Each structure stands twice: as C-alpha cells, then as structure tokens.
Copies of this chain bind each other. A is one copy, B any other.
Amino acid sequence: MSKLDTEHATGSARPSAVVPGLDPAWLRDNCQCADCRDPVSGQRLISITNQAREVTLTDVLEASDGLHVTFGPDGHRAVFTRSWLAGQQTAVVDERSEDAKRLWSAADFRAGPVTAWQAYQSDHEARLGCLRELLSSGFMLLRGVPPQPGAVLDVVSSLGYVRETNYGRLFDVRVEATPANLAFTGLPIGPHTDNPYRDPVPTLQLLHCLANAADGGESGLLDGFRAAGLLRAEDPAAFSCLTHTPVTFCYADATTELRATWPMIGLNSRGRIREIRYNSRSMQPVRPSYGTPAEQAAAEMHEFYRAYRAFAAILLRPELTLRFNLAPGDCVVFDNTRILHSRTGFAATGHRRLQGCYADIDGAESTVAVLSRARQRGPGQG
C-alpha cells in the first residue's frame, strides 16, 4: 500500500530506498510529533509497551517536507523530515572510546596545548578550544590560575562539578609525615590512573600548582588509549587477557575502605578501548577466575603477569610520556579514564604543593556542547 515513488522520488537527494531500510517499530517509537514527544523537554511520552507487538506501515508518502507515514494497527500518522532520517543512518560513535579521540605520543605536543587562564575566562573561543582539547587529547593545561588555595575550585566550576570524595572537595598533594597515600611523599610515582578503587571512578582530575621549589617532581602524562592500542597491535593475547581479567583495587585508612573490581583495560560493548585502570600501588593480588582448578590457577596467573608486564613496558616507553614541570599557577586537567599521570621523585624538604580535585567529564562534555551552540548562533547571540 506504499505510495512511495509516486511523488518527489526522482531527483531527491535521499533515494526512496531509505524506507525499506527502516523498521516500522523503530519508526513508530521515534515519532517526533507533539503527542509522542514532549515539545518542551523533547522527552518521549510514549512507551514501547503501549504499542502493538507488530507495528506496520499502512501508508507511506514521500513529500517535499519529508516522509509521511501512517502506522498500523494504531492508525497514528507521522512526518519524518529527510534531514532527520539522514541523521539516523550512521552508526553512533561512542564519544568516550578510542574511536572519538585524537591518540597521541609526546612528540605531537611540541608547542604544548597551553591556554592562559585569563583568556579562558574571557574569550568564548579560547575556552571552547581548550575544553575540546580536553575531550579529544584527554588533557588541557591552564597557565596563570592564581596560586592560591581553593583556586582549583574556580577551574572546576568553569567546566563541571566537583566529585566530592573521602579526600574532600579538594585535597593537598604535599609531603606528609605519615602519609596514607604514597602521593604524599617525595617518592617517584610511575604512570597510573587515580582512584581505581572507586566505582564510579572520578573521570576528571585537576592538579593546580601553588608552589614548586623542589628539585625534581617533574610531571608526566601519557595516553593510555594509545598505549593499550599498541599492546593490541603487538601482543593481541596480552591485550585480550587484560581486557578480561578482573583486578581488584583497594584503599583503606581509618575512616574509609574502598574496593572496586574491573579489568585494567575496559572495552565498550563493541570491543573498543574505553577505560584504563592502572595503579600498581593499590592493586590487590589477582585471583583465579570462577571454578578454576588449583593446577590451572598458576598458569592463569602466569599469563596475566606476562600480559601485565608487556603493558607496563609499553607505558614506560619514553616517547609516550609528555614531560613538563608544573610552575605555580599551572593547572592541568585530565581524563582519568584515559590519561596516566606520573611524577619523578623530589627532595622531600623542597617546598612543593599542589591542590587536586576530582570532577566528571560528562560535565565538560555538556559545557562544550552548550558553548558550541552559542557559536552556531553566531557572535552576539551567545
């Protein structure tokens, strides 16, 4: 009963074949009319359970304003514009996965993606460019943030919301007498992600330098997605092992006891790299999988350690780590699900003080999306 091809079919940019490519139930559930979607919120008003088990198309008419459809058995009528339909034909890119990122090595950042705090605050384009860098490269570096306690909270409120934890809304990174965490010593700390013992893990970390008169304490960042991709290319069995083996990370002190279990390399449902959890300090002994006989457990552990060592060796390749010294007023912001950070050792007597803060990257994504809208509307309308 389709009237397709009777009108406007010739010469249209989208051939009529687009209709055979659509499932009626999908089309019905995605009706954009005011009865099916709330005009203010854009939220769906209908439920799949209110629709017939077998939705059909009883009439289809291709007109200049789009596809006019009548559904069976409910008789509902809908119009789908060509541009809307065209937008549904491509696969969704998982914006958090390797597929949506600019993967990098240290040499890609000769100049360094540095933005002045003043420009970031006053210039819409500067802020948008800087935040886009955070999403695509996984980090951004602000310079000139007043080196005063608490200023890191001004940075976080420019891009999202603080993730408060047992460490507080913000925390000091400086040498302590009896540190509950090795971060609060002068020891070198190899590449790691923060708080893998937390679930959900904080997806953004901010580190703001208030003072740095210590020798050493050089900071390093590396792209964990790039490193995991290298492991996949060079040693697929090791990559597979690290994406499947659950690892428990733990942190405990007098008032807190956190524990989370995930593979070191997390994939999305399409098998693409999406999250790195890597921290030798808080990693607990890996256990055999369910029902493994004791005699196989050692072989399983041997394979895990081979894979872990292969990944660890990649993470130490000098060409992967971007090295820099944080100067007072510098604030680095990075994606804690992707970027591993490290620091070289420093003399515990030298004055080095950072303030850190956790936040979430969905807030930064929202900020970028809203700033991008303002740009689409043009200057003066932002």
A residues neighboring B (CB under 8 Å): 17-18, 20-23, 25-26, 29-30, 38, 40-49, 53, 88-92, 94-96, 161-166, 178-182, 187, 190, 198-201, 203, 243-246, 248, 252-253, 255-263, 268-270, 280-283, 285-292, 294-295, 297-299, 301-302, 304-306, 308-309, 312-313, 316, 360-363, 365-366, 369-370, 373
Q: A26-B286, A287-B92 are in contact. Are A313 and B40 (CB under 8 A)?
A: no
**What's the least CB distance linking A277 to chain B, in Å?**
12
Which residues of B sit under 8 angstroms from A92, Cβ to Cβ? 246, 248, 261, 287
Are B294 and A270 in contact (CB-based, < 8 A)?
A: no
Does the CB pair B22–A301 fall under 8 Å? Answer: yes
Contact across chains for A190 and B49 when beta carbons are under 8 A apart: yes
Name A180's contact: one of B23, B40, B182, B306 (CB within 8 Å): B40
Q: Are A366 and B257 in contact (CB under 8 A)?
A: yes
Q: State whether A91 touches B49 (Cβ < 8 A).
A: no
A22 vs B20: C-alpha distance when bound (angstroms): 59
Is there an interface contact between A269 and B244, defined as CB atoms closer than 8 Å? Answer: yes
> CB-nearest residue of chain B relative to A163?
B163
Check A20/B190 contact, CB under 8 A, given A287-B91, A309-B49: no
Chain B nearest CB from A197 CB (Å) reads: 8
Complex CA gap A40/B270 in Å reads: 42
- Decide if A365 touches B162 in the complex (CB within 8 Å): no
Q: Let me know if B166 and A164 touch, CB within 8 A.
A: no
Residue in B21, B23, B182, B295 whose beta carbon sits within 8 Å of that of A43 in the complex: B182
Please state if A370 and B255 are interface contacts (CB–CB under 8 Å): yes
C-alpha spacing A153/B338, complex, angstroms: 32
Contact in complex: B96, A199 (CB < 8 Å) = yes
By the criterion CB–CB under 8 Å, are B281 and A43 in contact? yes
- Contacts A25-B306, A262-B268 aside, 19 further interface pairs with beta carbons under 8 A come to A18-B294, A20-B295, A21-B294, A22-B297, A22-B298, A23-B299, A25-B309, A26-B304, A42-B252, A44-B283, A47-B312, A48-B312, A49-B309, A91-B292, A92-B248, A94-B261, A162-B164, A166-B363, A257-B373
In the complex formed, the residue of B with least CB distance to A285 is: B30
A21 to B287: give the CA distance in the assembly, Å: 12
